[in-house]
Amino acid sequence: PLTTAWVMASASASTISAEGVLEVLRQSMSQDPAARDRALRALEHWQREHCRGILLALLEILRAKDQLQRQPEARLYAAIMAKNLVGSAWDRSSSNSFGKTFAEKREWNGIDDAEKEALKGGLLCLLFAEKDSRVREQLVVLVAAVARHELPGGWPSLLAELKDVATEEAFTLEERRLALQTLKRVLVGLKGKKALLSVTSADMLRNREKLQSFVRKGAVEMESLQSSIRALVVDLHVLWRRWSGVLARGEQHWEGAGLLANAALSCVRQALLVLESYESILDQVEAFFEEALSQAVHLKDVHVGPPPGSPAAGCESSARQWRAIVGKAAMLINKCCIAAIDKHHRSFAPQVASFTSVYMETIMALDYRALQTLSQKRLVLMTRFLAKVFHNPTYKRGPALVAGTPGMVLRTPSEAFARAAEGIRKAHRYIADFWEGPVFPQFVEALITRFLVLTDDELREWEADPEGFFLVSNLELDIESEVRRCCAEALLLFLMERNIEATSRVVLSLASQAAQNQDPGALRMSEACFHAIDATALLFPVGTLDYDTFFSTDLYKYLESPSDDLVTRTMQGRVLHLLVTISPELSAESYEKALVAAIRFLQSPDLVLALYSVKLVHKLCVSDILGKGPFAEVHSALLQGHAISILTFSFSLAHRLEEGENLQMVLKLIAIEMEVVAKEANLDLIQFLAAQVPQVWQRILSLSEGENAIAGAPCQSSLINILLLLIEKTGDQCLSTPPLREVIFQLIGFCVNLGSDRASYLLEDGLKLWRCVMLHGSWQAVGQPVESSAENLFAIARSGRENHEVLCILKLYAVLCGARVVAGQEQLLAELVGHCLSDRATLKEAYSALDFLYTLGLVDAELALRVSGQAVPFLLQKLKEGELARILLEPLLEVFALFALKNESTLSGLAFGVVSELTAVLLSFKGVRGIHEFLGSAGARAAGTMKRKVAVILLALVSKYYPDLAKRHKTYIVEFGLAQAQEEAQSGGLTVEHFLDAKAGLAQPAGSDVLLRSEYYKRAAEVFARDPILNLELREVVTRTAESLVAGEREGDSVEALLGSMMGNMGLNHHHHHQGE
């Protein structure tokens, strides 16, 4: 058995033997957990450190097929580890932040050069000798990984060797297919290989000449690679032409020939994506596309079979296999055309018209049988190609025709450039004729009737997997989508973009015809036409369609129909989805009909319809929040009137769902409705939620089991948002209800458990809920959990995660439990605050740290001063240097003032060397009112008053301890103090409620009914009532300031004289001023 000592000895050894590695691999599959854990740690160490000899040892294990016949898993594991070693060598050197700015690294630093050469020398032999398909698959990936590092200079023979195996008759069919499969993987890996390689050598970065030489070398290597791939394309074309001919004629060995032809075609496609240009082999590439076009024309008949009398037509199973291989060839030709448009759109322009015509004709020729049997992938690829043609700027009339690619430098036009320009003109003429000709409406009609109509398979999916069907049906429009209807929607949008009037005319005409057809069998076609309107409605010219009339006349009747028939339900689902788009345009009467119907369908046994209703109602609620549209006010009243029904039915639906994404959508709707219905504490609502929320929580837990843990996270986050809203609206009434309280505390524990993977994505949400509970709960509801969970909070603080939320909760602990809870963690708190007030932290963390220090200073000033360490002087120094973020200025000054009032001797220690700059900043607050104060925003006046009061207090301390400095600003300081004293006298000054609003972190205004049972609110009121800044009278402060400023002056300069002079200048009566106060 593997021992820890053996693992450590092996890890420190200079080389590693194959026997040792094999033993570790065996132990890693052991049933003994301890042995398995030790082995896995050894493997991880070898991989991370790239220990010398590990790669050669793995290769030796892979060669030992005979000796390890009974241990195939060990060889498979060795192949996987070898592949990972090469990959991790790559990843490790680019993990630094500088390396990430470059596309890739130049060499795989972690592996010894001798091992690299041994690997390259034996890898292909090992690959072609391998019989285990699983090991062979890993070796193919390994070859591609090494090639990405080494090509072209490090492994110059690779491409030629693979090509030779693929073309030589002496090799077996399997070996030739393996060569092409490997070649394809190599080309896939090379797609991301950039001309500029990453530079991590500091010496090279400092030496411009070395750097330039390095870049030139990289450019030469990349041109060499491009040249090799261009030659490869020519050879692959010859190979494909030869074997596809055998397939087309159905001759002897047609099946193997077809497989080789398709493998070569797949390599051509990847080569097109790697090549920067194919101008130097333009004739050969154009010949390839001409032959591909010929095949595509032949394959327009999707039911085509092998030539009669040929070996391929010998029996039905052979003919079926022949069609499958030919169908694959059709898709690969399509993919090659898409690759050419993506990477070589100018050079490919001469072929655009021909292929566009072929694929449009193929689509228009599709019949019902073809739609039911043809590969969905083949349908998707045809629409994707056409969408890319109509969307590509090169094929739109404009400056691209003459000027080429934007920003390109025009040189003497080459023959290739001239041919591309003529090709672009040809594409423009073809597309222009297409818009105006008879084919255009026929094609739009074919697109709608072939691609947007629900097939029998899709209807079966609707019934068998309604949640999956809904998710697929609501995918975002994407030209790269693998879903047939999504691709068709994207193509329809691009057609609309290029010719909006003609496209919308055809779409509406088809919809009108479908609506008039009363035949129940035509309902699928009607649904497809409404689908087309749904996809393109936002692009219709204004006035093209009266949506309110359209709903009343053509759509509403379907919502009233019985939902017994599946096809009828598909139409009802389409109408609900269409209403998501057109609802802002509906009149009050139509809107109410749509809303009532949506609420009714929320209860539908058909989950697809219920989920469509959720999407519609959610859209209506969001539109209501934004307040847009001509009928927004009426719509809002209707929504609020049905809020309870929506909430009730949404919870009922949530209990039936199995897919996390769908459940999250329902929970988002519930959260919006909670805003409406939970405006105040309502016992009926609390009892309803007490019954519903635990069921939803159990449903979420069932979705989060095992490998689905991450999938359930969005639902947990949405449930937390619902509970946050509920607690903020109802306070302790919610927390005192046992079923809700139990779910809330379970959810907090679920999210903040650092030992669970869930903490990586739910920690912040869990801490927010924790904070909300502490803010609103009575001691009876939260006291025991609060005290028992302090250690868990400190563990999170030690982890360095979510510092902002941790500090906010620590502040609540300081108020609720006093200094006793936090005092025992003084060192931890000092480290946390020190980090958050350093340059390494975010502004959010820094603000929270200052806020925590202020509250801790009210509870235990000495502890707060010790915890703050050098953070406050550090920030004051940044203030002096003009580097302090503006958002931190006021909380910093408040903490500084509090510390100074608690112990005036701290002033000189904290502000050493920055008093002059600090004084200038404080004086700048005189007479300044923020925009929020002028606008009368809630709490803004109190915050502004507190800011200026803090400034006056600090100026008074400066006058006392630095009188020489203060006397230079004597007039300004006294005027500032008198103005603030007058403001305090007239307004009644700051109250405890003002301080609670500004500093206590409340979610509602102080004095709100929802806070009356909150233990935190009660204790915070007591703590802030003792705040020296609150209790200090500015009249006394101003008098002391004046005393400091006249000290040592001549006899006539008394305090009374100074104050009287200042008040006279300010237009105040000194006597009345005192009487008023």
Q: For 439-462, give the secondary structure using H, E and C.
A: HHHHHHHHHHHHHCCCCHHHHHHH
Q: Which tokens sit at 792?
A: 């868990």
Query: What CA–CA distance (Å, rounded) separates 665 from 618?
Result: 9
Query: What CA–CA distance (Å, rounded) separates 914 from 880?
Result: 6
Contact of 265 with 329, CB cutoff 8 Å: yes
Query: What CA–CA distance (Å, rounded) separates 581 from 433?
Result: 33
Contact of 952 with 1037, CB cutoff 8 Å: yes
| ∠ CA 344-345-346, rounded to 5° | 95
Range among 77-81, 287-291, 911-915 with highest mean pLDDT value? 287-291
Percent above pLDDT 70 for the chain: 86
Among candidate residues 729, 676, 621, the one with its CA nearest the CA of residue 1011: 729
Query: What CA–CA distance (Å, rounded) separates 1062 from 468?
Result: 78
| Whether residue 666 has pLDDT greater than 80 | yes
Residue type, position 778, single letter: S
Bond into 520 cis (ω within 30):
no
Among candidate residues 744, 642, 660, 655, the one with its CA nearest the CA of residue 692: 655
Q: Which of 60-64, 218-222, 415-419, 1054-1058 has the lowest mean pLDDT?
A: 1054-1058
1063 burial type by CB count under 10 A (0-12 exposed, 13-18 middle, 19+ buried): buried
Q: Which of 57-71, 640-654, 756-770 has the lowest mean pLDDT?
A: 57-71
**Cβ-count burial 883-919 (b if 16+ within 10 Å, e if not):** ebeeebebbbbbbbbbbbbeeeebbeebbeebbebbb
| Whether residue 909 has pLDDT greater than 70 | no
Q: Which residues touch 677 (CB under 8 Å, ≥6 apart)? A: 643, 644, 647, 685
SS3 1054: coil
| Whether residue 162 has pLDDT greater than 90 | yes
Q: Which residues pair with 198 in a beta bridge?
A: 105
Query: Mean pLDDT across the chain, nearest whole number?
Result: 83
Give me the sign of the Cα torsion angle 559, 560, 562, 568: negative
Alpha helices for 404-499 (secondary structure H): 415-436, 439-451, 456-464, 466-473, 484-498
SS3 51: coil
Return the pLDDT at 628. 63
Indicate the pLDDT class of residue 204, thresholds 50, 70 and 90. low
Query: What CA–CA distance (Å, rounded) separates 784 from 765?
Result: 22
Query: What CA–CA distance (Å, rounded) separates 1010 from 1004?
Result: 8
- Residue 960 Cα distances to 66, 980, 1054, angstroms: 92, 19, 16
Q: What is the dihedral of CA 650, 654, 656, 662, to 10 degrees?
A: 110
956 burial type by CB count under 10 A (0-12 exposed, 13-18 middle, 19+ buried): buried
**Average pLDDT over every residue of 281-310:** 92
Among candidate residues 574, 505, 504, 487, the one with its CA nearest the CA of residue 539: 504
For tokens 């959260």, the residue is 671
Helix axes 790-799, 826-836, angle to 10 degrees: 40
Query: What CA–CA distance (Å, rounded) separates 222 from 240?
Result: 26
Q: Which tokens sit at 496?
A: 């609309």
pTM: 0.78
Q: Which of 428-432, 948-952, 1019-1023, 1042-1046 has the lowest mean pLDDT?
A: 1042-1046
Listed as own residue / partner, the contacts of 610-614 with beta carbons closer than 8 Å and 24 or more positions apart are 610/653, 610/656, 611/466, 611/467, 611/470, 611/653, 611/662, 611/665, 611/666, 612/470, 612/573, 612/576, 612/577, 613/576, 614/650, 614/653, 614/665, 614/666, 614/669
Indicate the pLDDT class of residue 780, thresholds 50, 70 and 90. very high
**Eight-state DSSP code of residue 12:** H
Q: Which tokens sit at 750?
A: 């679920």
Return the pLDDT at 1060. 57
Q: Which of 213-217, 884-888, 924-928, 1054-1058 has the lowest mean pLDDT?
A: 1054-1058
| Whether residue 965 has pLDDT greater than 90 | no
**Average pLDDT over every residue of 234-256:** 93
Indicate the pLDDT class of residue 680, thresholds 50, 70 and 90. low
**Average pLDDT over every residue of 574-585:** 90
Return the pLDDT at 1059. 54
pLDDT (tens digit per residue) in 399-443: 444 444 444 444 445 677 888 889 899 999 999 899 888 899 899
**Eight-state DSSP code of residue 924:** T
Return the pLDDT at 626. 67
Return the pLDDT at 384. 93
Indicate the pLDDT class of residue 93, thresholds 50, 70 and 90. very low
Among candidate residues 744, 740, 751, 748, the one with its CA nearest the CA of residue 713: 751
| Whether residue 596 has pLDDT greater than 70 | yes
For tokens 């932290």, the residue is 841
**Average pLDDT over every residue of 672-693:** 83
For tokens 């240097």, the residue is 881
Query: Which DSSP string corresponds to 842-880?
Result: -HHHHHHHHHHHHHHHHH-HHHHHHHHTTHHHHHHHHHH
Q: What is the dihedral of CA 577, 583, 589, 594, to 10 degrees?
A: 20
Q: Which of 255-264, 517-526, 744-753, 848-857 has the lowest mean pLDDT?
A: 517-526
Indicate the pLDDT class of residue 869, thresholds 50, 70 and 90. confident
End-to-end CA, the chain = 88
Return the pLDDT at 194. 53
**Eight-state DSSP code of residue 408:** P
Query: What CA–CA distance (Å, rounded) separates 351 from 293?
Result: 9
Contact of 250 with 322, CB cutoff 8 Å: yes
Q: Which residues touch 845 (CB under 8 Å, ≥6 apart)? A: 803, 804, 807, 835, 836
**Cβ-count burial 682-705 (b if 16+ within 10 Å, e if not):** eeebbebbbebbeebbebbeebbe
Bond into 311 cis (ω within 30):
no
Query: What CA–CA distance (Å, rounded) separates 162 from 143?
Result: 11
Please give the sequence-ordered ranges of beta strands (E in DSSP) within 30-136, or none if there are none.
none
Query: What CA–CA distance (Å, rounded) separates 719 from 717?
Result: 5
pLDDT (tens digit per residue) in 820-840: 888 888 999 999 999 999 988
| Whether residue 998 has pLDDT greater than 70 | yes
**Average pLDDT over every residue of 207-220:** 77
Q: Which tokens sit at 560?
A: 């009233």
Q: Which tokens sit at 26?
A: 């065996």
Query: What CA–CA distance (Å, rounded) separates 720 from 766?
Result: 8
Q: Which secondary structure element, helix H or strand E, spans residue 515, and what is its range? A: helix 500-516
Contact of 835 with 841, CB cutoff 8 Å: yes
Residue type, position 779, single letter: W
Q: Which residues pair with 105 in a beta bridge?
A: 198
**Average pLDDT over every residue of 442-469:** 91
Percent above pLDDT 90 for the chain: 39
| Whether residue 710 has pLDDT greater than 90 | no
Furthest C-alpha separation in the chain: 129
Return the pLDDT at 360. 94
